[in-house]
Amino acid sequence: KVLLSGAILEKLKEGETARSPGMKYKHYAPRAEVTIVKGEFQAYCRYVQQHAEPGTFCLCFAGEGGALPVPSVEYGAAQNGADQAKHLFTALRQLDERGAKRVFARCPAATGVALAVYNRLLRAAAFRVVEA
């Protein structure tokens, strides 16, 4: 049985001490404002369409970029946490290189290896998560 610290998926509460620096700070993040968007792909597309403005990019799963209404960077296969983990930081740097101002990120699963990806995205997004 594995016990996870609440700080893995939530902001630290007032006065709570982080078990490691990685649980406390926003880091490994692009300069853009990142928002994680939960929901099926079509709902994600609608959300992006409704909230897009100049400088908006999508951080999406492999093969999805061509169907999106704004420029995108792909960060791994939808159902493959290891693939997402392998490509996430390169994708975040590409967003910087391409001048992203605002990023809507597809939400990975919060299980297995993808839980680590979700944790890194939560911090990059400063815990901004919306439902599409």
Beta bridge partners of 56: 102
Q: What is the pTM of this model?
A: 0.84
Task: Tell me which residue of 120, 75, 118, 96 sits closest to 33, measured CA to CA.
Answer: 96
71-98: per-residue pLDDT in tens?
Answer: 999 999 999 999 999 999 999 999 999 9
Domain ranges of the chain: 32-131
In CATH terms, is domain 32-131 a member of 3.40.50.1580?
no
* pLDDT tens digits along 19-55: 555 555 555 678 999 999 999 999 999 999 999 999 9
* 126, 31 Cβ separation under 8 angstroms: no
